[in-house]
A and B are shown apart, each in its own frame.
Chain A
């Protein structure tokens, strides 16, 4: 039987990265279409922290490898180990969420396996050995259906397009393996985490984003976000201006989000920004300029000064919630 292998990712705190859960349910969809079984793999200094959780997510088998060299992720150390496992179990498909790690790692795994690859896959078509992948091109302005013709097919998954896999689906067999650990030519120096009390941008149910219209003053954006338990986002212009940290950027070159509610305040709606938030369920635009392109994708638009609207909106929501 063909095998779909999904690579799991741990956060620096040791917990599973949430996008892994979305990737696992994508793997399940693919396994059904391809008539394959789903396997998971995790490389870690200490897999025991999450191997139990992984075993309950509905896969057929979970493969874990422990080594001190896996403490800090490095493509040159991880790629050979993943490729070695993929070969030994005869995986036909190797996938991972399109996180920074997924995008860095999987092309290197693909190169090792002489496999073709598709990035940011949003869905699968066809069936059996002819499964094709749907993926965005030109900043999400084009959806392409692509076919990978190599025996092994590698892909990353756009987490926002798939539900999160739920736990409690039986207990898969957890198998340990001991790959030859290659250390490569690159050393890990350090990781500086940007800590926030707010939810992670790509995982938040509500996102409040500010653009050039804020003139760099994010106080009202943040206050509304806190009222809604939302994450804060930003357009490229405000990140480039150094007004907010780069990791808040939503767009083609930043993060892709698809929350239940996306509030864009003072954002004109350039093509590159829309690429990162167009799939949000409900979009609200607040902008002084009635001709701003953001109004073409907004479900609800309010033409007014954001510095007037945001405090009033925060109060009204607070009151409405009782």
Chain B
């Protein structure tokens, strides 16, 4: 299996995000950056599938040269090689999906695994746009992914090998009020939910090895994608602060306040 995974560079989820006074963006000073946690789960899932069924994991990230840090992280986890789409400046979901479409058409993976959302823009869109652009099936919010390609199938002589159409994945999805299971013919797009797996730490030998793994550089121009954003963020603001609350000494006072002041009990 060839699996393409994404690695978006985002602010560390534990960072305190502050809006600039003029509302033009967030304050960058003092922020740390990481691979998007949902993407990290995607890298881990790709590695697990490949460990079981053979093949390779290729990691892709879009951004300035700083995103090479996130690519190296995925390579240190065990990805074979990386694709870096060098682009600075604003980019929206359609732009990202358009670039990933071209990378997927070039790489021809069996599966593209992305995080269900990036924790900076919280859009939860790219995987779905990508699946439609490619005309592939989609399984979002995955909590379990299983390849249905059996060991037996893989070992058959080529003349008897099952066609690509018979390869599929089974995905259990987290949806409202329960779990839905889908079977997607490959190639397909899967987006990860939090409970899919616990990503591994990069080992020291892994980190050393990652330094010599290849990173291919592409650009939107090379991929012939117009990435002019169609989503424009006009202004950012801090959410309205909550009125300061009080501490109550005991249960009786709490119930009295809930009944007579807040009137919710």
Residues of chain A having any CB pair with chain B under 8 Å: 11-12, 17, 74-76, 79, 99-101, 103-108, 110-112, 114, 116-120, 132, 136-150, 184-194, 200, 202, 206, 228, 236, 239-240, 246-247, 252-253, 260-261, 271-272, 278, 281-284, 290, 295, 297-303, 309, 312-313, 316-317, 320-321
Which residues of B sit under 8 angstroms from A260, Cβ to Cβ? 264
Which residues of A sit under 8 angstroms from B6, Cβ to Cβ? none
Q: Take A119-B123, A313-B255 as given contacts and tell me if A300 and B246 are in contact as well, using a CB distance cutoff of 8 Å.
A: yes
Least Cβ distance of B227 to chain A in Å? Answer: 13
Q: What 0/1 pattern do residues 195 to 211 of B give for CB contact below 8 A with A? A: 10000000000000000
A138 touches B245 (CB 8 A): no
Query: How many residue pairs between the two chains, A and B, have CB atoms under 8 Å in the bound complex?
Result: 253
Q: Is residue B177 within 8 Å, beta carbon to beta carbon, of the partner chain?
A: yes
Which residues of A sit under 8 angstroms from B246, Cβ to Cβ? 299-301
A140 touches B239 (CB 8 A): yes
Question: Who on chain A is nearest to B256 by CB?
Answer: A320
Q: Is residue B111 within 8 Å, beta carbon to beta carbon, of the partner chain?
A: no
Q: What 0/1 pattern do residues 105 to 133 of B give for CB contact below 8 A with A? A: 00000000000000111111111110111
B125 touches A107 (CB 8 A): yes
Q: Is residue B92 within 8 Å, beta carbon to beta carbon, of the partner chain?
A: yes
Residues of chain B having any CB pair with chain A under 8 Å: 11, 13-14, 16-17, 19, 26, 38, 92-94, 97, 119-129, 131-133, 136-141, 143, 170, 173-185, 188, 193-195, 229-239, 242-243, 245-248, 250-252, 254-255, 257-259, 262, 264-265
Which residues of B sit under 8 angstroms from A11, Cβ to Cβ? 177
B239 touches A313 (CB 8 A): no
Question: Who on chain B is nearest to A286 by CB?
Answer: B254
Least Cβ distance of B264 to chain A in Å? Answer: 4
- CB pairs A–B below 8 angstroms (8 shown): A103-B124, A138-B17, A138-B119, A185-B136, A191-B175, A192-B181, A282-B258, A316-B255
Which residues of B sit under 8 angstroms from A312, Cβ to Cβ? 251
